[in-house]
A and B are shown apart, each in its own frame.
Chain A
Amino acid sequence: MGMTMTQKILAAHAGLDKVEAGQLILVNLDLVLGNDITSPVAIKEFNKLGAESVFDRDKVTMVMDHFAPNKDIKAAEQCKMCRDFCGEKDITNFYDVGEMGIEHALLPEKGLVVSGDAVIGADSHTCTYGALGAFSTGVGSTDMACGMATGKAWFKVPSAVKFELKGKLNQYVTGKDVILHIIGMIGVDGALYRSMEFTGEGLHSLSVSDRLCMANMAIEAGAKNGIFEVDDKTIEYVKEHSDREPVVYKADDDAVYDETYIIDLSEIKPTVSFPHLPENTHTVDEIDDIKIDQVVIGSCTNGRLEDLQLAAEIMKGKRVAKNVRTIIIPATQKIYLEAMEQGLLKIFIEAGAVVSTPTCGPCLGGYMGILAEGEKAVATTNRNFVGRMGHIDSEIYLASPAVAAASAIAGKIAEPKEVL
């Protein structure tokens, strides 16, 4: 019986020739990540361990992104704790205001993850790096602490669900629509404890940005990780961003999958997840008028340059609807700068949107766009749980940057073709 992509990476990092689903193994890690919310808890646990130093100063990274730039005094104290720890332990990749970005947009951009890596992060969306053919998964702060100290983490080897992609996406349909469609199809626990492996000739037509967005939301189907088969686009991306050599793991021909789904990309339509679960999906062409109060375009899911380019293409020369607060958040400093140089920021500001510094901010109801009772938002973020962006009686509709931009212009949930 052969191994899946994920199983091959795990076996290699556990020093084993072969692993099977259900087996408990100890894995050597290439990178351990934390942010300004999860790291303080991890630092306290690390100190309890009594370890003098981290296992490898180049393989631990902390990114101040959730409540940074500091939203209040307590957030400032948490960032300071991380800053002091990284200073003391001489950690190479500490990203503070001015250098930081939203962690899952930042790490691939900085070349900290390459194909074949095994990564843990104390953030559930760490699964994003599967887009590059790495095994990466979210853990809690204690796992992060122990990972920082020992360079290892325990895992139960997952079984997998295969998604065979074919065809090509239509104009203004994105990776976000594909992953929302998939979550709608299998449910928020449809891949619980398992890997989601993406393969098939259709994947070659997806940009790296689309793949990062899709792998990012694997957790919203309960998955341990989402992973894409490596192709020329992956290798080109990794070589452009990192000096480290990518290692390519392909699933065996006789690898066993719990289920296989065939997804025809050409059939995917602009899709929106209704409150309060990502699985509550509808295609935009089948819904009634839903008036909105806010639009957020950003986050680790959809704050990349390609997302901003798409939004700008739709918003160019238009104005956002009266009373729709439109907040655009480039995910990293580099993306911010490129968006400025390409004139995208000018398009947004002239359309009546605001452009923020990189931050997770409103996605998790931190700050920079909190909703009042009864308000509705279209967001390119990843969760629409009760109270996620503000009041418990507010509503979040998850969508692509194209649908979000069109909705900002229309003042209601809309497809790009309705405003172009």
Chain B
Amino acid sequence: MKFEGKVIKYGDNVDTDVIIPARYLNTSDKKELASHCMEDLDTTFAGRVQKGDIMAAGFNFGCGSSREHAPIAIKESGISLVIAKSFARIFYRNAINIGLAILECPEAADSIEEGHIVEADLDKGIITDKTTGREFKTEPFPEFIQSIITNGGLVESIKNGSFK
């Protein structure tokens, strides 16, 4: 799987309360969730995000609540991939389970700036900042997790019998 997009960048400890504030959790409608995505951190996000954009962030991205509404809102907003220095563990699972691509790469997350054009190859674990020309290598996911992602998430993996 390959992605290319423009970067929207945030800092450390972006929590699920700012990704999607709990006051909007009285719905699970994806479009409605996406319309409030990042609202308490960046009121301009929902208006400027373009399909295919890549989100970059610092340490512990997605910390806090287990709300799957957070990766759902990000995915539905059009973000194709999140690159962070590290992910909070429930967010990490949820992203994989719903098929939102994520990559953990401290060097890339540090170096990539807002507005840069970035290309990422998930299978090889290679991130290229096309604006600066710098290339970063990260660990590809273990086979077990790659299989969940390529099958389109955990539900699909169970349905087609690949999850054992």
* A and B part of one assembly: yes
| Chain A interface residues (CB < 8 Å from chain B) | 24, 26, 37-38, 40-41, 44-45, 48-50, 66-67, 71-72, 74-75, 78, 121-124, 126, 138-143, 145-146, 149-150, 154, 188-189, 192-193, 219, 222, 224, 277, 364-366, 383, 385-388, 392
Q: Which residues of B contact A123 (CB under 8 A)?
A: 65-66
Q: Is the CB of A41 within 8 A of B69?
A: yes
Q: Is the CB of A386 within 8 A of B97?
A: no
Q: Given A49-B159, A146-B158, A383-B64 in contact, is the A74-B27 Cβ separation under 8 Å?
A: yes
Task: Report how far A74 CA is from B65 CA in the complex, Å.
Answer: 20
| Chain B interface residues (CB < 8 Å from chain A) | 13, 15, 17-18, 21-23, 25-28, 40-41, 59-60, 63-69, 71-72, 86, 88-90, 93-94, 97-98, 142, 144-145, 153-155, 158-159, 163-164
Q: Which residues of B contact A74 (CB under 8 A)?
A: 26-27
Q: Is the CB of B26 within 8 A of A140?
A: no
Query: Which of A26, A40, A50, A364 has the most chain B CB atoms closer than 10 A to its own CB?
Result: A364
Q: Look across to chain A and name the residue whose beta carbon is closest to the beta carbon of B72.
A: A41
Q: Which residues of A contact B144 (CB under 8 A)?
A: 24, 154
Interchain Cβ contacts within 8 Å, total number: 137
Q: Is the CB of B67 within 8 A of A38?
A: yes
Q: Which residues of B contact A145 (CB under 8 A)?
A: 155
* Nearest Cβ on chain A to B93's Cβ, whole angstroms: 6
Task: Report how far A150 CA is from B132 CA in the complex, Å.
Answer: 47
Q: Given A123-B66, A188-B60, A192-B60 in contact, is the A387-B94 Cβ separation under 8 Å?
A: no
Q: Which residues of B contact A142 (CB under 8 A)?
A: 68, 94, 97-98, 153-155
Task: Report how far A122 CA is from B98 CA in the complex, Å.
Answer: 14
Q: Given A24-B144, A188-B13 in contact, is the A140-B155 Cβ separation under 8 Å?
A: no
* Nearest Cβ on chain A to B36's Cβ, whole angstroms: 12
Task: Report how far A222 CA is from B92 CA in the complex, Å.
Answer: 12
Q: Is the CB of A387 within 8 A of B90?
A: no
Q: Which residues of A contact B13 (CB under 8 A)?
A: 188-189, 277
Q: Given A142-B94, A143-B93, A146-B155 in contact, is the A387-B40 Cβ separation under 8 Å?
A: yes
Task: Report how far A382 CA is from B63 CA in the complex, Å.
Answer: 13
Task: Report how far A219 CA is from B155 CA in the complex, Å.
Answer: 25
Supplied contacts A71-B26, A75-B26, A189-B13, 4 more A-B pairs, CB within 8 Å: A26-B164, A67-B25, A139-B90, A146-B155
Cβ-closest 6 pairs across A and B = A140-B94, A74-B26, A140-B68, A142-B97, A364-B22, A124-B66
